[in-house]
Chains A and B, each alone.
Chain A
Amino acid sequence: AQRVTQPEKLLSVFKGAPVELKCNYSYSGSPELFWYVQYSRQRLQLLLRHISRESIKGFTADLNKGETSFHLKKPFAQEEDSAMYYCAPLVGGSSNTGKLIFGQGTTLQVKP
């Protein structure tokens, strides 16, 4: 079945520790992949997309087509990183019918 999986509902780390939020997908083709974040009392917003290969707020995400994974990483977590993170592939086969699908989400809790 086609799905996006975020295996951890909660990830709790101490400030300064490395963070890796896992995402695996099983969609055919080569979907474009995104990470969205929702901070407390704020709207869901884009964090980063794989095609841009950029680092946002110290986060990076590498697309591994062989493992169909798109894990989100940060070498040193900060308390302000505490939020809900969603992996979201854009699926649909062609650029004209792409739809944004969300994983279950992982709550990142960074303790002082």
Chain B
Amino acid sequence: EAGVAQSPRYKIIEKRQSVAFWCNPISGHATLYWYQQILGQGPKLLIQFQNNGVVDDSQLPKDRFSAERLKGVDSTLKIQPAKLEDSAVYLCASSSSRTSVEAFFGQGTRLTVV
């Protein structure tokens, strides 16, 4: 089966600019996660979707980050405006149930804010 697809793979922007990341989960997977992984740290959960509804977004900086999952399939994560500390790898993952027996990860998008 095809894996989780993310684009772009790399992005460099200036601070205060906006950026969007796209994720296409594995077909049929109801749960979708966005993680932020800063260099040297473990992935930090930003938001979790079940179909097109938000299950958890307690760690999402809502003043600048937003995410949506239209029709319960693809998802986009946006940052506006970006700050230097947003430089990180943004990982998308999906799983087939709300209990997340196994999460499948994309390659990630490496964001550099200069």
Known: A43-B105, A86-B42. A100 touches B33 (CB 8 A): yes
- Give complex CA distance A64, B98 in Å: 25
A85: min CB distance to chain B, Å = 10
Chain A, interface SS category: loop
| Structural contact, B107 and A95, CB atoms closer than 8 A | no
A51: min CB distance to chain B, Å = 9
| Structural contact, A104 and B98, CB atoms closer than 8 A | no
Known: A99-B48, A99-B55. A90 touches B42 (CB 8 A): no
Q: Interface range on chain A: under 10, 10 to 19, 20 to 34, or 35 or more? A: 20 to 34
Spell out A's residues near B (CB within 8 Å): 6, 32, 43-46, 49, 86, 90, 92, 95-105
- Give complex CA distance A6, B93 in Å: 22
